[in-house]
A and B are shown apart, each in its own frame.
Chain A
Amino acid sequence: MSAEPPAAEPAVETGDVHDPSTEPWRRLNPLMLLVHPLRELIRYLPVLLIALVAGAAGGEPWWAYVLSGLGIVFGILRFFTTTYRITPTHVQVRSGVLNRRTLSAPRDRIRSVDVDATLLHRVFGLAIVKVGTGASHGQEELALNAVALRDLPALRSELLRLAPPDASAGAEPPANLSRWSPRWVRYAPLTLSGVASIVAVVFFVVQLNFFEGGVLTRLAVVQQGIGWVTHLPLLVTALWGSIVLVVLASAVAMVRYALSYGRFSIHRAGPHTLHISHGLLRARQITLDETRLRGAQLSEPLSLRLAGAASAHAIMTGLGRQRGGVALLAPPGPREEAVRIASVVLGGSEPLDVELITHGRRAHRRRYTRAASFAGVLAAAALVLQLSGIVSPMVWWAFVVIVPASAMLAADRWRGLGHALLPGWLIARSGSLNRKRAVLATEGIIGWTIRRSFFQRRAGLATLIATTAAGRHRVVIPDLPQDAVWPIVEAVSVRHEVAGDAAPVDAAGAASQSVRADRS
């Protein structure tokens, strides 16, 4: 890995680091004295609302007030107990009211700086600064919550060790890669995020009702609503229900889309720095060190694909758990736009539009056997349920839909399945409902897993997984013909010696010889 800058320290340290530095500990912005308690109050708002409803239905909800009061006190204490400092070598944050802890990150390990500002933070002109380090798993996030917006540029360049921002040199506008268009909102309903939100809300309401002993059903409005719906004929209810659901889900999805991706922009802030910002109410800014880029990923879920849309993410190291190691490059929008931005970031469009190698006849058949076994399992479940009298025989009509749908899904999964190996890039695509094309830099691959289930062995197939420290830590190529596996591993990981010293020598190889045999 010659392109890799040498790692200066073996790992990010946590716990109490004995830094000899005498750098004084700094407090965060005092406006947090207002933000913390307000946040706690907002968090307890649902509880307080229930308390009011329950109070109206009888019973004094004193516990809700105690809880909110405690939250406010803790919010204030949080400000006084959190301090940070930036020493020449480390960034350290001390926090915790009861359990004190110190998070510490070596500064030469800082890979990204995120700025996250909720609506509340923005009202006060504040933002949370999150520091991403090389360690991307099992690591707590180092966050400064919060600093004033005007201190941000200086802090960011201090953390990333960039040249300090020069106000006079700001004449040249940064090279903008993409600008958000409000028309993209039309793709929002296809992301199914609205359906997910509605399911979450319904789940929450049902839970609430359960824990509060049927508070909601005691309300007159709800009772009237239920009474009204139960008097409608079944077909009308189903029809109207689905229309309302679709409209509602679409509306929710569009609002969510606009709120989180509104004003999306991505531009190059320096020779190796990408700057991404988005969000209408909650504003997020992400600064990425491009030397940490290990590839890109194009997501084309079935619903988006049918409308010619896609989204793109960058696969990076050191992004932390929260976003699964990927950074948004293009929100769900026109496919050409997503491909264009990803190509610019990757430095070429070839990995994204090269023709993929298909996996052969047996992988093709396996798509259908798997779809058939899925339908088979459903059929077995239906049979058991019907025989035990839980469902009526009408359930078999569902298979008029299930069987063709699984076959179509299998066909689409087959169309999506493929891989390619370009100089420097490994490309894998799979899936149908959630199709993804992952492009991974071969220099970022740090190991391989070849997995073969019993059925895959019988079919002569294997799943090849390239492991990496970036993104989701793995890129999976499913159902590769067995003979195609080792050539890929070799092409990526084997350095072919110049003829002459080609034979692997065991001179230093105590490793290979001495421990091989089992003594027992």
Chain B
Amino acid sequence: MSTVAGSIAALVREPSGRPSTRAVRFWAWDAAVGWTFFAALQLLWMLVADAWTQPLHLAGLGLTVVAAVVHVAVMPRWRYRVHRWEITEDAIFVRSGWFTQETRVAPIARLQTVDSRRGFLMRMMGLTSVTITTASSAGALTIHALDDAVAREVVAILAEVAQHSEGDAT
């Protein structure tokens, strides 16, 4: 069965699942680590070029700090407001992003693999991301930053469903 039963319109606009509340902290740390790395590279460049007082270098560093502070302050909360997911009997819905937002829909009959991924930071905070792939390389859905226990349940349910699905439209 490739199609979705019933009306999805009402459901899709506001799927009910949300990421873990710790996701905000995770995204903030994740972004902070990235920006720190970037700033460290800039400092290294200044060290190598011996350019501690050059205005262009200092302006670049200042710009990085401002962008980092704004990004770390704004992005995680915004993301948390946007992120939603829901698995119904016949379809999976995921909404993600912040500045650019994406809603993805895939009929459960089309699902091929279910992967869960936990990076180092995520393990420290007990978070897991679940990625669901379909036969289309453009159609993978990722449910970001779930509580570990919830993620395990999601994977178990989807793995069960995947066994019964027929036809991946290849």
Contacts and interface: CB of A to CB of B under 8 A. Distances in A.
B100 A449 contact: no
A35 interface: no
Interface in A133-150: 134-138
Interface in B66-83: none
Contacts of A512: 86-89
B170 interface: yes
A138 B170 CA distance: 14
Which of B19, B103, B147 has the most chain A CB within a 10 Å cutoff? B103
Given A1-B167, A4-B169, A518-B19, A493 B150 contact: no
Interface in A467-497: 467-469, 472-474, 486, 489-490, 493-495, 497
Contacts of B20: 518, 520
A317 B170 CA distance: 6
A25 interface: no
A468 B22 contact: no
B166 A6 contact: yes
B89 A446 contact: no
B86 A519 contact: no
Contacts, number: 174
Contact of B103 (A6, A449, A504): A449
A495 B136 contact: no
Nearest to B157: A511
A274 B136 CA distance: 24
Given A448-B105, A449-B102, A519-B149, A504 B138 contact: no
Given A7-B170, A453-B100, A467 B134 contact: yes
A453 B169 contact: no
Contacts of B91: 493
Contacts of B5: 494-495, 497, 504
A8 to B, nearest CB: 11
Category for how many chain A residues contact B = 35 or more
Nearest to B85: A516
Contacts of A515: 17, 87, 150, 153-154, 157
B30 interface: no
A449 B134 CA distance: 13
Contacts of A514: 153, 157
Contacts of A473: 136-139
B21 interface: yes
A509 B6 CA distance: 14
Contacts of B40: none
B19 to A, nearest CB: 7
B9 interface: yes
Given A7-B168, A508-B89, A518-B147, A448 B104 contact: yes
B134 to A, nearest CB: 5
B101 A443 contact: no
Contacts of A179: none
A66 interface: no
Contacts of A11: 112
B150 A447 contact: no
Interface in A119-144: 134-138
Contact of A444 (B87, B103, B104, B169): B169
Contacts of A6: 166-167
A317 B19 CA distance: 35
Contacts of A1: 1-2, 109, 167, 169
Interface in B141-159: 141, 146-147, 149-150, 153-154, 157
Nearest to A501: B5
Contact of B139 (A138, A446, A452, A506): A446
A375 interface: no
A447 B106 contact: yes
Contacts of B168: 7, 446, 469
B16 to A, nearest CB: 5
Contacts of A448: 103-106
Contacts of B147: 518-520
Given A134-B170, A504-B5, A511-B157, A447 B134 contact: yes
A324 to B, nearest CB: 12
Interface in B1-58: 1-9, 12-13, 16-22
Nearest to A502: B6
A489 B170 contact: no
B148 to A, nearest CB: 9
A519 B161 contact: no
Contacts of B154: 515
Contacts of B7: 490, 494
Contact of B136 (A467, A506, A510): A467
Q: Which 6 residue pairs of A and B lie closest in terms of their CB atoms, listed nearest first?
A: A467-B139, A495-B3, A469-B135, A447-B106, A504-B6, A474-B138
Given A443-B169, A446-B139, 5 more contacts: A446-B106, A472-B138, A473-B138, A490-B8, A511-B157
